[in-house]
Chains A and B, each alone.
Chain A
Amino acid sequence: DTEVTQTPKHLVMGMTNKKSLKCEQHMGHRAMYWYKQKAKKPPELMFVYSYEKLSINESVPSRFSPECPNSSLLNLHLHALQPEDSALYLCASSRQRSRAETQYFGPGTRLLVL
């Protein structure tokens, strides 16, 4: 099983709302990732967790707050977003962070900020 699940599939929020995106994997992977993908563009890395610790933050604005409560779950908390934050948010996982490991992606959450 190489499945990464993400909820919700779609999310519409106002600029003053607080919401969370969830990601889950049961493959025993110890690295998890958040990406942002705008239309017709490649994914952009946002955050990387390795063994439940934040390893990489790609200078993402503080209105995005990641959380890794355990080795299977990854959340992305959203607060005071801007319309330009509307995008597809993808979660991925890999066995560990290394040169040859495959990242497995979830189906994404399509976010619209009004």
Chain B
Amino acid sequence: GDSVTQMEGPVTLSEEAFLTINCTYTATGYPSLFWYVQYPGEGLQLLLKATKADDKGSNKGFEATYRKETTSFHLEKGSVQVSDSAVYFCAPVFPLEDYKLSFGAGTTVTVRA
């Protein structure tokens, strides 16, 4: 069946370091791909999304590209800040899964000053 695999943390970085969180999927058909972020004590916020192959989503310095060849949607940021400390969820919407968000396990990122 359709599934998502997300790099598990925790990940600890220093400010201005490069961040990458891997996300790969297995699907029948072509999903839409989402990254959500959850700051401590809050709900989830959409970070970025891509709905077709080669689309690049970007927001707040984060980027991810829909790679059909490698079935991946890795999240990257070139220079993290303390305020980026949060849990990040990769969440495909698989065509055959009734339009549900299928969340990855989540990656906890801590950025130290």
Count of A residues near B, CB < 8 Å? 23
The SS class assigned to the A binding surface is loop
* Interface status of A66 (Cβ within 8 A of chain B): no
User: In the complex the two chains form, is B105's CB within 8 Å of A42's CB?
Assistant: yes
Per-residue CB contact flags for chain B residues 70-89 toward chain A (1 = under 8 Å, else 0) read 00000000000000000001
* Interface status of B69 (Cβ within 8 A of chain A): no
Q: How far is the CA of A48 from the CA of B97 in the complex (A)?
A: 13
> Are A56 and B44 also in contact (CB < 8 A) when A42-B89, A42-B106 are?
no
Q: Which of B32, B101, B104 contacts A100 (CB 8 A)?
A: B32
CB neighbours (8 Å) of A45 from chain B are 100-101
User: In the complex the two chains form, is A105's CB within 8 Å of B95's CB?
Assistant: no
**Chain B contacts with A in 84-113, Cβ cutoff 8 A:** 89, 93, 95, 98-101, 103-106, 108
Q: For B89, give the chain A residue with the smallest CB separation.
A: A42
Q: How far is the CA of A108 from the CA of B44 in the complex (A)?
A: 9
Q: For B103, give the chain A residue with the smallest CB separation.
A: A42
Q: For A90, give the chain B residue with the smallest CB separation.
A: B43
Q: Which of A6, A43, A92, A99 contacts B51 (CB 8 A)?
A: A99
User: In the complex the two chains form, is A42's CB within 8 Å of B95's CB?
Assistant: no
Q: Which of A48, A101, A103, A107 contacts B42 (CB 8 A)?
A: A107
Q: Which of A40, A99, A106 contacts B93 (CB 8 A)?
A: A99
> Are A99 and B100 also in contact (CB < 8 A) when A42-B105, A42-B106 are?
no
Q: Which of B49, B93, B100, B106 contacts A56 (CB 8 A)?
A: B100
User: In the complex the two chains form, is A43's CB within 8 Å of B103's CB?
Assistant: yes
CB neighbours (8 Å) of B106 from chain A are 40-42
User: In the complex the two chains form, is B43's CB within 8 Å of A108's CB?
Assistant: yes
**Residues of B near any A CB (own CB < 8 A):** 31-32, 34, 36, 42-46, 49, 51, 89, 93, 95, 98-101, 103-106, 108
5 extra A-B contacts, CB within 8 A, seeds A42-B89, A100-B32, A100-B51:
A42-B103, A90-B44, A97-B99, A98-B99, A101-B99
**Residues of A near any B CB (own CB < 8 A):** 4, 6, 40-43, 45, 48, 56, 90, 92, 97-108
